Chains A and B, each alone.
Chain A
Amino acid sequence: MSGGLSEAWSAEIFDVLPCGVIVTDVKGTILRVNKTFCAWVGLDASELVGQKKLQELFTMGGRIFHQTHWAPALQMQGSLAEVKFDVRRKDGAILPMMLNAVRKSDGGIAVDVITLTVAEERNKYERELVAAKRRADELVEKERAAQLELEDRALFAEQMIAIVSHDLRNPLSAILMGATILERGDEVPAAKRQRLTKTVMSSARNAQRLIEDLLDFTMARVGRGLSVSRKLSDVHVLVARTVESLALAFPGRVLEHVSVGEGESLADDDRVAQLLGNLVSNAMAYGDPTRPVTVTSAISENSVRLAVHNWGEPIPLETQTTMFHPMVRGDVANGSARSVGLGLFIVRAIATAHGGDIQVVSTAEAGTSFTFTSARV
């Protein structure tokens, strides 16, 4: 035999192939196995042939895959290629292997011939690919979220400009009109001049408040947070003074102050007054006008609690979860916009700047309470 293999070699080739070879019946029972495979898994041929099924060499996950995909696919198409299984060695270690299989007939009886190749490196590579794909997906997701937030911010800015322009136009028109009439001087009756002056001043105050809100908003949202300077003071006195001046702004309405406990605590007087002002305006605007609004200041050993309570329709639950976000109310597109919803956002920013928090409880029975709580010192 010229150029061919020796007979001894031909007989041996099954065992020296650089891949594992297993022959099984269609149930998976091992009929023959080569030495390469035995060496890889550390098992003797006698421990495998007639003793084990192919699938029993796999991990449990692999056995499920074998039963649900490999076995039916092999039966139907007669062959399979490049399927990876984790094979358990005798010592318990896991060896990832790439399997090809073909179903052949041995004298009318179907047998499966399976080759197995160790796929350690390929396994690593595939895992890295999967991990890289996952990272890429996460990055794309993050990018998309950032893009959405950017769009939200841009939309919010546009809406805010639209509403602020709208809100500033009214007081400025009132101021201009008042000033134009006042310019005529003495020909305007004194009583009317006085009324006009008041209108001009209150319109200017409205405009000023809007601008201050915007500055606070900008500081809280894009700057280093709202600035507060806390000093030791008696919160009851501060609240009493604030309630007194707020009451003047809401003639015909009852605004009560209840104080509990006593002592001094650290607070920024102006910011606390601003917080109460915002909460009381809301209570007046949305609460039952026939019943009182109550401001409670309570001092306990460690904390200060300020609450503003009103009666009336409760705030819907879905609103409660979003109302501390800066929001635009009304519909800008059809021109019915009324005001920028910055009040509660600023309230929360003030609470946070004091190291405290703000909570809302609102039910039909108990009414609505906004409660600011912070440490005394």
Chain B
Amino acid sequence: MSVQARNNVKVQGDGPATMVFAHGFGCDQNMFRLLAPHFAGRYRAVTFDQVGSGLSNVHAYDRNKYASLHGYADDLLEVIEEFGTGPVVFVGHSVSGMTGMLANLKAPDLFTAQIMVGPSPCYINDGDYVGGFEREDIDALLEMLESNYLGWSSNMAPAIMGAADQPELAFELTNSFCRTDPEIAKHFARVTFLSDHRHDLPKLQTPTLIIQSSEDIIAPVAVGEYLHRTLPNSTLRVVENVGHCPHLSVPGESAKAMNEFLATLA
């Protein structure tokens, strides 16, 4: 199976350098529909669906391979090797911030900059470390995902709900967003929210931007600050935003933070 088919890779723009965007748990590459266009003029912007999410090929889902973030990191390296022109700027949302770091540690020459949007190296509180959740919260999430079989795969919403008054969405309506096989969603949630990569942070040498929302229950400000303290070469930008997806709710602010960071590297 080609990397293209496996990860439903999309390329837009044709700049000299490549920017690769990776979505996290719960959604798909559509998450970057408002952010990626900001860069498609100057960069070759590559987006893709993680295996098991969006329009990736679910037959490529191997529970052993994806039992840790390393499976996703290996996929990312293959995407970069096939679709990147030279070393890339990597943009990873949520858990993919860590996936990008793992990929970077395997092949640092492929990266010129890491941009982590709402990242967290560990979601569960541990001694002095504040991750934001207790183990029971994560178990409750997993149980909820199990009993939410329809919430994931329902593509009826737009048709039923009469969102057809937004004609710009007409094409996507037939595909729906953020669809995931419920079984895979549950496994991905487990792998994501039980991951702990705090010990890998000090190894990351590439310049890194942390885009932190001012109010985010998934990745609280304390986590962004911890990352900033622990990563050897990082910049922390807190953007005014409620929620876990600043690239969707405040794409302009997010793009501005990225541009200013990238300017410091030039």
Which residues does A use to contact B, with CB under 8 Å?
Answer: 26-28, 59-65, 67-69, 71-73, 75-86, 96, 100-103, 123, 126-127, 129-130
Q: Is B60 an interface residue (CB 8 A)?
A: no
User: Main SS of chain B's interface residues?
Assistant: helix
Q: Is B177 an interface residue (CB 8 A)?
A: yes
The 9 closest A-B pairs by CB, nearest first: A68-B26, A61-B140, A79-B161, A61-B141, A81-B157, A78-B163, A69-B26, A60-B137, A83-B151
User: A-facing mask of B215-231, CB < 8 A → 1, else 0?
Assistant: 01110000000000000
What are some 25 contacts across the A-B interface (CB < 8 A)?
A: A28-B242, A61-B139, A61-B142, A62-B144, A64-B218, A65-B144, A68-B26, A69-B26, A71-B243, A71-B245, A72-B27, A73-B27, A75-B248, A77-B177, A78-B166, A78-B169, A83-B148, A84-B144, A84-B147, A100-B161, A102-B163, A126-B149, A129-B149, A130-B147, A130-B149
If A67-B217, A72-B31, A75-B248 touch, whether A61 touches B144 (CB-CB below 8 Å) is yes
Rounded to whole angstroms, the CA-CA distance of A96 and B177 in the bound complex is 24
Q: Is B78 an interface residue (CB 8 A)?
A: no
**Is the Cβ of B146 less than 8 Å from the Cβ of A69?**
no
CB of B169 to closest CB in A, whole Å? 6
Chain A residue with the shortest CB-CB distance to B157 = A81
Could you say which residues of chain B place their CB within 8 Å of the CB of A64? Answer: 133, 137-138, 141, 193, 217-218
Rounded to whole angstroms, the CA-CA distance of A69 and B33 in the bound complex is 16
**Is the Cβ of B158 less than 8 Å from the Cβ of A79?**
yes
**Is the Cβ of A79 less than 8 Å from the Cβ of B26?**
no
**Given A62-B144, A79-B157, A126-B149, 20 more contacts at CB 8 Å?**
A28-B242, A59-B140, A59-B144, A60-B133, A61-B139, A63-B217, A65-B145, A65-B148, A68-B25, A68-B26, A69-B27, A71-B243, A75-B248, A76-B31, A76-B172, A76-B177, A78-B169, A83-B148, A86-B144, A102-B162
**Is the Cβ of A27 less than 8 Å from the Cβ of B243?**
yes
Rounded to whole angstroms, the CA-CA distance of A78 and B161 in the bound complex is 9
Q: Is B150 an interface residue (CB 8 A)?
A: yes
**Is the Cβ of B172 less than 8 Å from the Cβ of A77?**
yes
Inter-chain CB contacts under 8 Å: number:
139
Rounded to whole angstroms, the CA-CA distance of A78 and B168 in the bound complex is 11
Q: Is B178 an interface residue (CB 8 A)?
A: yes
Could you say which residues of chain B place their CB within 8 Å of the CB of A84? Answer: 144, 147-148, 150-151
Rounded to whole angstroms, the CA-CA distance of A67 and B216 in the bound complex is 9
User: A-facing mask of B235-266, CB < 8 A → 1, else 0?
Assistant: 00000001111001100000000000000000
Rounded to whole angstroms, the CA-CA distance of A73 and B141 in the bound complex is 18
Could you say which residues of chain A place their CB within 8 Å of the CB of B154? Answer: 80-83
Could you say which residues of chain A place their CB within 8 Å of the CB of B150? Answer: 82-84
Q: Is B206 an interface residue (CB 8 A)?
A: no
**Is the Cβ of B244 less than 8 Å from the Cβ of A71?**
yes
CB of B241 to closest CB in A, whole Å? 9
If A77-B173, A79-B161 touch, whether A65 touches B26 (CB-CB below 8 Å) is yes
Q: Is B18 an interface residue (CB 8 A)?
A: no
Could you say which residues of chain A place their CB within 8 Å of the CB of B176? Answer: 77
Rounded to whole angstroms, the CA-CA distance of A68 and B150 in the bound complex is 16
Rounded to whole angstroms, the CA-CA distance of A59 and B166 in the bound complex is 32
Of residues A77, A84, A85, which shows the largest number of chain B Cβ atoms within 10 Å of its Cβ?
A77
Which residues does B use to contact A, with CB under 8 Å?
Answer: 24-27, 30-31, 33, 94, 133, 136-152, 154, 156-158, 160-163, 166, 169, 172-173, 176-178, 193, 216-218, 242-245, 248-249
Could you say which residues of chain B place their CB within 8 Å of the CB of A78? Answer: 158, 161, 163, 166, 169
**Is the Cβ of B147 less than 8 Å from the Cβ of A127?**
yes
CB of B88 to closest CB in A, whole Å? 24
If A72-B31, A81-B160 touch, whether A60 touches B218 (CB-CB below 8 Å) is no
Rounded to whole angstroms, the CA-CA distance of A64 and B24 in the bound complex is 13
CB of A93 to closest CB in B, whole Å? 15
Could you say which residues of chain B place their CB within 8 Å of the CB of A101? Answer: 161
Which of A63, A79, A86 sits near B163, CB closer than 8 Å? Answer: A79
CB of A23 to closest CB in B, whole Å? 15
**Is the Cβ of A65 less than 8 Å from the Cβ of B243?**
no
Which of A61, A77, A79, A126 sits near B137, CB closer than 8 Å? Answer: A61
Rounded to whole angstroms, the CA-CA distance of A100 and B218 in the bound complex is 23
Rounded to whole angstroms, the CA-CA distance of A27 and B216 in the bound complex is 11
Could you say which residues of chain B place their CB within 8 Å of the CB of A28? Answer: 242
**Is the Cβ of A68 less than 8 Å from the Cβ of B144?**
no
Chain A residue with the shortest CB-CB distance to B24 = A68
Could you say which residues of chain A place their CB within 8 Å of the CB of B142? Answer: 61
If A78-B169, A126-B147 touch, whether A67 touches B244 (CB-CB below 8 Å) is yes
CB of B262 to closest CB in A, whole Å? 24
If A60-B133, A82-B151 touch, whether A75 touches B161 (CB-CB below 8 Å) is no
Could you say which residues of chain B place their CB within 8 Å of the CB of A69? Answer: 26-27, 151-152, 178
CB of B10 to closest CB in A, whole Å? 15
Rounded to whole angstroms, the CA-CA distance of A7 and B218 in the bound complex is 46
If A77-B158, A79-B158, A84-B148 touch, whether A65 touches B166 (CB-CB below 8 Å) is no
CB of A58 to closest CB in B, whole Å? 9
CB of B242 to closest CB in A, whole Å? 5
